[in-house]
Chain A
Amino acid sequence: MGEFDATSCTEMYRVMVRIRRFEERIQALFLRDEVYGTTHLCNGQEAVPVGVASALREGDQVAGTYRGHGHALAQGIGVQELMDELLGRATGINGGRSGSMNVTARRHGYLGSYGIVGGSIAAATGAAMALQRNGGVAVAYFGDGATNQAYFFECLNFAHVLALPVIFVCENNVYMEYTRTEHVSGGDILSRAQSLGVPGEAVDGMDVWSVRDAAEAAVERARAGYGPMLLEASTYRFVGHSRSDPARYRPEGELEEWQQRDPLLRVRERLEGDGVQRDALDAIDAEESALVLAAEERGLEAPWPDPAELPSEFAAAAVEPVGAEALQR
């Protein structure tokens, strides 16, 4: 597969650090009642969206989950506009209407964070019908729990039948909400996909370079017209399911074991082994921390939205997603 390339890997490291710092600040802000409702954080899972995003190009489209801050940031949504959204401010990417679970940004190739389990699978399947015309691909992120939804079976079969250019990226983080997925699932995810005619590949979701390699191959295959593929990325969330979950269901020592494989540490080790100076990586850490903290500070000063400015019930203007002009040709 692809040769290891320290420059692009360093850039991926930067985005992974950004996501981690972002999640840490969101957790702190949530506990201070500055972020509302609920949050689903992706600490520990950063390598998956960053590795996949590195295999995509402009015009490709991604559908994320309610654990979607990493999906959104990996697609290039700005820290400030995502932060402001979660702070409920008018300057948020959706004007404060969406919050954590429902972010959308089609101009960044982001079809949305899907609050309904499995909803992302369908959105990406449909996106692939449109993108098929111009060589684009669609990506669906979803959790292990979503593979028990009808959406999973129906859409994988649908995508196979129509040979759609869609990559199904299952972030298998062991737990569906508070329950170990293996306790409520039969068979395994790769076999399910294969039985529907969708080739599947197991990927080390804690290693960004492995994710990137697998994603590049799947994307190339899809662009060439060979249809969908499923990547099962084995990963782990270092935090609870959502704001109110202390994750008492984890066996003792399991979290610590996975933390040994922290994707940020793994990529650092690899880069340092390849000769990248520790100072350069420390500088990235400092820059990303500063970026997130500055966004937080600005966000807390940002204006609140005005209820009088909520959108009208029906849309009038067409908003074309990135790359859509190619569909007209």
Chain B
Amino acid sequence: MSALEFRAGIREALDAELTRDERVVLFGEDVAVAGGVFAVTTGLHERHGSERVIDTPISELAMSGAAYGAALCGLRPVLEIMFGDFLPLAMDSILNQATKFHFLDGEGGVPMVVRCVVGAGGRFGAIHSQTPIPWLHGVTGIKLVAPSTPADAKGLLRAAIQDENPVLFFEHKRLYSVKGPPGDDEPLPLGQAAVVREGDDLTIASAMKGVHDALEAAERLSSQGVEAEVIDLRTIRPLDFATVLGSVAKTNRLAVVEEGPLTGGWAGEVLARAAEEALGELDDVWRITTADGPVPYSPPLEDAFLPGPDRIVAEIQGRA
């Protein structure tokens, strides 16, 4: 079987769900006729028509509000916010309405998915490079999905569209051209982490691009006799901490790699759980993140800012 590209995995998941369930609609800026600015949704408009795959105005507030209202009345909207940095414009209906409805109403949820492109490393500067997971991490009632491989992206997006709750689905822009095994054709349950590399000496937990960086770091460390176990969290909320716990019981050391500021990031939550549930197992536990600042534009600044494989290797060696 030929390799699957990350963007094609997303496209295939959308295609499969649009085909499977006529309640599914996809909308966003330039997603239909143009096929998406990252060429993710190419061909879906032709296949599914203008009533299912819809170009919107540049109106994020209207887009998220409409997705919420449509979800209440039987559609299963998938909304694309082109860059995650534009999420604040769409936030009210997500944060104040969609995530509260199930609690208030008591019957049924709000089945909507917000896809957005996130992440740094593309030289897009401070306002097109953020990873906005922490902005939503403290909001209950929304699932936060952060895939790292093409097959996971496909399976997790299918599960997200079938989920009865609001889901934010993060697509790292530097993963779109990554290729990998196609996987099977089934939805992949949300909230399950995966051990993607086994090792006895320490555990590295991460998500999205960070998983690839962790794997590269692990290979380099292996040549120096350090075997790292790498966990791909895949979903940040709900968090599959059991998988982390199982690994830490074996390795006794945990590093969490997050592309985002140190303060207030989701890595802090992983550390908190580790402290609460595995203190006796731990010899060392820490976060590898960016500094508390915005993403800079210039290549030497951005490269030094991001927690890539070099930083991961150096920190692990430094704390050995």
Residues of chain A having any CB pair with chain B under 8 Å = 36-38, 88-89, 92, 95-102, 115-118, 145-146, 148-150, 176-179, 183-185, 242, 244-245, 249, 304-307, 310-311, 313
**A-B contact number at CB 8 A:** 122
B55: CB under 8 A from chain A?
yes
Count chain A CB atoms within 10 A of each CB in B29, B30, B56, B58 and give the residue with the most. B58
B299: CB under 8 A from chain A?
yes
Contact yes or no, A97 B127, CB < 8 A: no
Contact yes or no, A307 B305, CB < 8 A: yes
Contact yes or no, B299 A88, CB < 8 A: yes
| CA–CA, A315 and B30, complex, Å | 38
B37: CB under 8 A from chain A?
yes
List chain B residues, Cβ under 8 A from A98.
125-126, 297
5 contacts between A and B (CB under 8 A): A102-B297, A116-B85, A177-B30, A179-B55, A304-B299
- What 1/0 mask marks residues of chain B from 17 to 31 whose CB sits below 8 Å from any chain A CB? 000000000000110
A-B pairs, top 5 by smallest CB distance, nearest first, are A99-B297, A36-B123, A37-B123, A96-B298, A88-B298
Q: Which residue of B lies closest to A313 (CB)?
A: B292
Contact yes or no, A146 B34, CB < 8 A: no
How close is B66's CB to chain A, nearest CB, in angstroms? Answer: 13
Contact among A177, A178, A244, A305 for B301, CB-based, below 8 A: A305
| CA–CA, A127 and B214, complex, Å | 45
Question: In the complex, which range does the number of interface residues on chain B fall in?
Answer: 35 or more
List chain A residues, Cβ under 8 A from B271.
none
List chain A residues, Cβ under 8 A from B85.
115-116
Contact yes or no, B297 A249, CB < 8 A: no
Contact among B59, B122, B296 for A310, CB-based, below 8 A: B296
How close is A186's CB to chain B, nearest CB, in angstroms? Answer: 9
Contact yes or no, B122 A150, CB < 8 A: no
List chain A residues, Cβ under 8 A from B59.
148-150
Q: Which residue of A lies closest to B59 (CB)?
A: A148
Contact among A89, A92, A185, A306 for B57, CB-based, below 8 A: A185
| CA–CA, A95 and B292, complex, Å | 18
B89: CB under 8 A from chain A?
yes
Contact yes or no, B296 A102, CB < 8 A: no
| CA–CA, A244 and B86, complex, Å | 20
How close is B172's CB to chain A, nearest CB, in angstroms? Answer: 15
How close is B306's CB to chain A, nearest CB, in angstroms? Answer: 11
Contact yes or no, B298 A305, CB < 8 A: yes
Contact yes or no, A116 B127, CB < 8 A: yes
| CA–CA, A249 and B30, complex, Å | 11
Contact yes or no, B296 A37, CB < 8 A: no
Contact yes or no, A115 B125, CB < 8 A: yes
Contact among B30, B34, B294, B297 for A36, CB-based, below 8 A: B297
Contact yes or no, A244 B37, CB < 8 A: yes
Contact yes or no, B125 A145, CB < 8 A: no
| CA–CA, A106 and B296, complex, Å | 19
List chain B residues, Cβ under 8 A from A185.
57
Contact yes or no, B58 A150, CB < 8 A: no
List chain B residues, Cβ under 8 A from A178.
30, 33-34, 37
| CA–CA, A150 and B59, complex, Å | 7
Given A102-B127, A116-B86, the answer on whether A97 and B297 have CB atoms closer than 8 Å is: yes
Q: Which residue of B lies closest to A99 (CB)?
A: B297
Given contacts A88-B123, A97-B297, 7 further A-B contacts (CB under 8 A): A37-B122, A115-B125, A116-B89, A177-B34, A249-B33, A311-B293, A313-B293
